[in-house]
């Protein structure tokens, strides 16, 4: 055992500092936080119903004049709440296509931040892309069931992405089954 002798004035100062430090730690300790929850080692699976066949027919007028028919590309219906359709039709050779993302609810609705329609069309030697999410298009889903999605759309004055051309008008139909 080692004994250290301190002068009487220093001993009192050390005792006061120790008492203050102990009191300060007691005031700020508060209740203990819950232990951290470890992240799962594997992401939970996302349930998706694959749609494997179908086609879309698109007619574009206005700044661009074109029509095309394209087959269904990998597409899905995600039934977990909130349910979501993620549909895509396209031709890899030409780059033309139609994409739709929205809730699987039969009926008509204008495009919005939750119901988006995008079209890519070839016009001569250029590719023109439009995306509607501000009500320029109305999408009608005649069927929106697992394994059977059918609908149509009508668009008026959809601005081109990048604004290089005036807006376009478009109409079309689509189907996805599987």
> Which residues, 6+ apart, have CB-to-CB distance to 103 below 8 Å?
82, 83, 84, 85, 114, 115
What CA–CA distance (Å, rounded) separates 113 from 105?
A: 16
Q: With respect to residue 41, please indicate whether it lies within any of the assigned structural domains.
A: no
Q: With respect to residue 1, please indicate whether it lies within any of the assigned structural domains.
A: no
In angstroms, what CA-CA distances link 28 with 9, 23, 85?
29, 9, 51
Across the beta sheet with 116-123, the strand order is 49-51, 75-78, 84-90, 97-102, 116-123, 126-132
Q: Give the number of domains in the chain.
A: 1
Q: With respect to residue 29, please indicate whether it lies within any of the assigned structural domains.
A: no
pLDDT in tens, the chain (178 residues): 444 444 444 333 333 334 333 343 344 444 444 445 455 454 445 578 899 999 999 999 988 899 999 999 989 989 888 899 999 999 999 999 999 999 999 999 999 999 999 999 998 888 999 999 999 999 999 999 989 999 999 999 999 887 766 789 999 999 999 9
What CA–CA distance (Å, rounded) separates 51 from 91?
A: 17
Question: Domain range for residue 171?
Answer: 49-177
Q: With respect to residue 82, please indicate whether it lies within any of the assigned structural domains.
A: yes
> Which residues, 6+ apart, have CB-to-CB distance to 131 below 8 Å?
116, 117, 118, 119, 158, 161
Q: With respect to residue 109, please indicate whether it lies within any of the assigned structural domains.
A: yes
């Amino acid at each position: 055992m080692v004994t250290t002798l301190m002068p009487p004035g220093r001993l009192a100062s050390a005792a006061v500092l120790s008492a203050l430090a102990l009191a300060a730690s007691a005031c700020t300790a508060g209740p203990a936080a819950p232990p951290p929850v470890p992240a799962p080692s594997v992401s939970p699976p996302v349930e998706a119903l694959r749609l494997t066949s179908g086609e879309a027919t698109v007619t574009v007028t206005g700044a661009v004049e074109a029509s095309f028919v394209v087959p269904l590309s990998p597409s899905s219906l995600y039934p977990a709440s909130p349910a979501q359709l993620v549909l895509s039709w396209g031709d890899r050779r030409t780059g033309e296509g139609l994409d739709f993302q929205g809730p699987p609810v039969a009926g008509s609705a204008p495009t919005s931040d939750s119901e988006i329609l995008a079209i890519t069309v070839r016009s001569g030697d250029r590719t023109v892309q439009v995306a509607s999410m501000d009500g320029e298009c109305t999408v009608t889903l005649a069927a929106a069931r697992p394994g059977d999605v059918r609908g149509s759309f009508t668009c008026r004055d959809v601005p081109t992405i990048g604004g290089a051309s005036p807006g376009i008008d478009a109409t079309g139909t689509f189907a996805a089954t599987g």
